[in-house]
Structure 1
Amino acid sequence: MGVLEGLEPKRVFKYFEEISSIPRGTGNCGSISEYLVRFAREKGYEYVQEKCGNVIIYVPATQGYEDSETVILQGHMDMVCEKAPSSKHDFKTEPLDINIIDDHIFARGTSLGADDGIALALALAEVDDPSAAHPPLELVFTVDEEIGMIGAKALNTSLLKGRKFINLDLEREGEVLTSSAGSLIGRMSVPIKYHRKSGENYRIVISGFTGGHSGKEISKYRANANIIMGRLLHFLGTRVKYDIISITGGLTHTGIPREADCDVLVAKADSDSFEGLIQEFEKTIKNEYRANESNISIYCNDMGELEENVLFHKTQERLIFLLNTVPDGVQKMCQEKLSRELVETSLNIGIMRTDEYRFYLEASIRSCVKTEKYALSDKLRYLTETIGGIYEEDYDFPAWEYKDRSELTERCKKVYTELFGREPKITGVHAGLECGIFYSRLPGVDMVSIGPDIHDIHTPSEKLSISSTLRTWNFLSSVLRSMRK
């Protein structure tokens, strides 16, 4: 007897338990890909298995729906493999140890992989339900979403007929997602030169900032340690002479930097005033961010006298100029009536470094409007080239742009309201989804994303709501049932 046997909807949890027994961490999707192929063969459905492991299953319409538009149901096969320090689980060979507590399914000691195993289970259950009523379906299952959406990028979209697209990778019930951000990495590199100098060596440290993901948390207006360091260097430069030895801040382009530090040389006679200015600046920043940053710490450590290579004055001026003029944070909020709380365009200066030859900044640019993304990138290019630097774009990822008129969104809203007595929240996300890739490659596609409540994804505390899964199943089935032409 299966652990999930007896839960409703039976078929959904039957398939979810089977899927959970198959090791399918990112980069290890071979077995789950073969499982999906076996399913298609056993049910007599046509299918395509791509070289990378993607699987497309073609499901005929049920009786009376033959003339309806083809609908794509899509999710990804892979899961993020996280485990508790005490866990000895081998994600490459062992099934997940799934259990139930109250209204939730979890995996003992590990992540659950409901992101996005529940998508596979919902889709398979729909086409294995003799009472189901639906249009022609194309089930699209991609590999390795969690490390750059590799499967979605590789998928041959000419194999797809459908232009109604339901992605099943949302972790919040009661919402219908209608857009996601595109992104690119902007790399700014400015040549620098050094000369030898002696003085009192201070290490300036900025720490204690909250940070967070630049897609999910950028709307919270948290302080960026790299940008604050730029402000501090300008503040100091108008009051005392100093020379920069090195500067560093941030770890990844997607993370809002929590810490930054800068080594400088100061004349011995200016030491006391230098330390006082740091304290004054700390008070200023604490006041500015009093509502959303409670642990700010800005200080300097006297490292003693030192002879070291420092930046030439003109080089230092260019560095400070760039840090004080480069855009950062939320640039524009969405103006559509249903999404005004959603960030439309943003920028995060995630990495800051000096090395022997250059000063380097790396930015994550996001927008759900393609032209705005490139316009913001152009600003960085102009700024960088104005001071003699080089600008490069990398990892250009497409947006899923919001549509004012979406038949599928309106259908979902109507069906959800009829089922549950309230309208779903129509929203978007300021982060990249596989939907962006499919949106850019399927002309005229009408797309939504839905899913049940999943909490603490990508952690050993991940859990899937049983009752929410039932409601999502009823919602999905009802939307498909409503599509009879």
Structure 2
Amino acid sequence: MGRVLENLEPQAVFSFFEDMTQIPRCSGSEKAISDYLVNFAKKRNLEVIQDKALNVIIKKPGTKGYENAPVVILQGHMDMVCEKNKNTNHDFSTEPLKLRVENDMVMATGTTLGADNGIAVAYALAILDSDEISHPPLEVLITTEEETGMGGANSLDPNNLKGKILINIDSEEEGTLLVSCAGGIRNTLSIPIEWNACPDDFLAYDLRVRGLKGGHSGMEINKERGNSNIILGRILKGISANNDIYISQVSGGAKMNAIPRESDAVLLVNRQDKAKLEKEIEKWNRIIGNELKTADSDVRIELELLNSKHEKVFSKETMKKVLAALVLIPNGVQTMSVEIEGLVQSSTNLGVLTTTEKEVLLECAIRSSVKTLKLDIVKKMEALADLIGAKSTSESDYPAWEYRKDSYIRDIFVDSYKKMYGKEPIITAIHAGLECGLFDEKLDNVDMISLGPNMFDVHTPNERVSISSTNRVWEYLLEVIKSIK
């Protein structure tokens, strides 16, 4: 079978990217892709370091005339968010992605594409592989577990790097250069379950929230898209107010840093209330459909009668606590920046809802460019936990990347953009976690900037990357590194 991307420009970039789509690289399972990068370096006699966290650093001397230029770190991450549609049969641990090209877009069928951040790695490999590109001494840093808490960046030994200029290639909008980012923390609310026997003469239903767009919980949190976990809780709370119901399971979302698109609940209702429940669902379809008619026009609430027998359900007290958590938990935009127009300052995302044998888990990604606001949201989670007799735990705390007033690399990027396009790029901050925050702490006085080509709906099965934008950003990146002497 032929390669899908072989005729796309830049050929070297898309060739390496297609190679990567054939290798398993979900966050936390990066051994194969990390070894691929090591072998790439060894075949080209380049210095390579693979650390215990499977981060890979590949070093290449400057080309002729650039031997004494400042060392530049090109940085991206090798892992990807692995999400698929409910009806897609795909094993990310063994199967390659099914690529396709539609007009100007590269996509994967039924799954995430991994252009976030495979394109960054492909850019770096194409530069390392070339004997014709002029560049300063390079240190290519490819990290692991970025999508699940920046584990690789956290484990990085700064002594392995000499560069004081870092170009992060993990942005998603061409012509926009990022110079600051939010910090974040992950919070889990654990509600213990008290189980009761399933009552007689009750019908079991699968209540489903479907049709939402989802998206990146930082980049797209301001688009007011529906969160399926929040919608599910709201509907269940509404139904419980007018019906004698029981719940045996709630679930939704796959990744804490992705706005959940699909959620499910198994609920039981008295047989005689069957018609009443169906009318309730019709009502909620109208309510949610009207509220999200612009932001998420395809949302739908489904109800399916189940044939399987359920032997146990949440106690009424457990159900009360779970529904209280789902309707009270902070979610979405919390504060907006006054200094930077349109920038979300702090937010939360209830990304994953899970029922285990012992507890219901609500997993949230909290983001803020102001540390104290981040901690304030954590305190709200803890207060909610105290209120309902749950447990709140936080982990994977990572810092913000603060704006640098004077920046040599930013000046180079601006001058190169003006030279190529006759106008200045957009300089802004982002409400998402970039590894730059950790590098700002670990690498003494490093001068950083972030860029990338146009990508859309990252962290969802609709993820796609623009071919023409990938080419333009490639040419821009080459112009920049050629200018660093």
TM-score (norm 2): 0.73
Provide the residue aligned with 1:160 in structure 2. 161
Provide the residue aligned with 1:207 in structure 2. 209
Q: Does 1:316 align with 2:292?
A: no
Provide the residue aligned with 1:284 in structure 2. 287
Provide the residue aligned with 1:409 in structure 2. 410
CA shift for structure 1 position 454: 6.8
In 2, Cα distance between equivalents of 1:317 and 1:98: 45
Gaps in structure 1 of 5+ consecutive residues: 83-90
Provide the residue aligned with 1:250 in structure 2. 252
CA shift for structure 1 position 166: 0.8
Q: Does 1:377 align with 2:381?
A: no
Cα 1:450/1:203, change in 2 over 3 Å: same
In 2, Cα distance between equivalents of 1:245 and 1:5: 51
* Paired positions, count: 459
In 1, Cα distance between equivalents of 2:50 and 2:207: 53
AA at the equivalent of 1:225: S
String of CA shifts for 1:317-351, please: whole Å, max 9, x gaps: 333322221111222334443xx334333222233
String of CA shifts for 1:262-313, please: whole Å, max 9, x gaps: 4134494x66655544444443333222223334444656779x99655444
CA shift for structure 1 position 416: 1.0
CA shift for structure 1 position 250: 0.5
In 2, Cα distance between equivalents of 1:4 and 1:317: 52
CA shift for structure 1 position 220: 2.2
Cα 1:124/1:441, change in 2 over 3 Å: same
AA at the equivalent of 1:389: A
3-state SS, counterpart of residue 444 of structure 1: coil
Provide the residue aligned with 2:265 in structure 1. 261
String of CA shifts for 1:408-442, please: whole Å, max 9, x gaps: 33442233113210222334544444434423422
String of CA shifts for 1:73-110, please: whole Å, max 9, x gaps: 2245678999xxxxxxxx9999x999999999999xx9
Check whether the contact 2:346–2:374 (CA below 8 A) recurs between aligned residues.
Answer: yes
1:294 to 297, 314, 326: 297
Structure-to-structure mapping, 1:291-370, within 5 angstroms:
291-298=294-301, 309-337=312-340, 340-354=341-355, 357-370=358-371
3-state SS, counterpart of residue 374 of structure 2: helix
In 2, Cα distance between equivalents of 1:13 and 1:298: 44
Q: Does 1:39 align with 2:50?
A: no
String of CA shifts for 1:427-469, please: whole Å, max 9, x gaps: 454444443442342243321122455789898997774x656
Structure-to-structure mapping, 1:114-193, within 5 angstroms:
115-121=119-125, 123-124=127-128, 128-129=131-132, 132=134, 134=136, 137-142=138-143, 151-170=152-171, 172-193=173-194
1:224 to 221, 224, 227: 227
In 1, Cα distance between equivalents of 2:269 and 2:470: 60
In 1, Cα distance between equivalents of 2:205 and 2:5: 57
Check whether the contact 1:279–1:299 (CA below 8 A) recurs between aligned residues.
Answer: no
Provide the residue aligned with 2:425 in structure 1. 424
String of CA shifts for 1:205-261, please: whole Å, max 9, x gaps: 2433414234244332122233223333443454x3524232413132334142332
Check whether the contact 2:184–2:397 (CA below 8 A) recurs between aligned residues.
Answer: yes
Structure-to-structure mapping, 1:77-116, within 5 angstroms:
115-116=119-120
In 1, Cα distance between equivalents of 2:253 and 2:60: 44
AA at the equivalent of 1:140: L
3-state SS, counterpart of residue 28 of structure 1: helix
Cα 1:70/1:61, change in 2 over 3 Å: farther
Aligned sequence identity (%): 31
Check whether the contact 2:246–2:316 (CA below 8 A) recurs between aligned residues.
Answer: no
Cα 1:62/1:259, change in 2 over 3 Å: same
AA at the equivalent of 2:215: H
In 1, Cα distance between equivalents of 2:356 and 2:145: 34
Check whether the contact 1:334–1:343 (CA below 8 A) recurs between aligned residues.
Answer: yes
Check whether the contact 2:73–2:138 (CA below 8 A) recurs between aligned residues.
Answer: yes
Q: Aligned-pair RMSD on alpha carbons?
A: 5.0
Gaps in structure 2 of 5+ consecutive residues: 26-30, 84-92
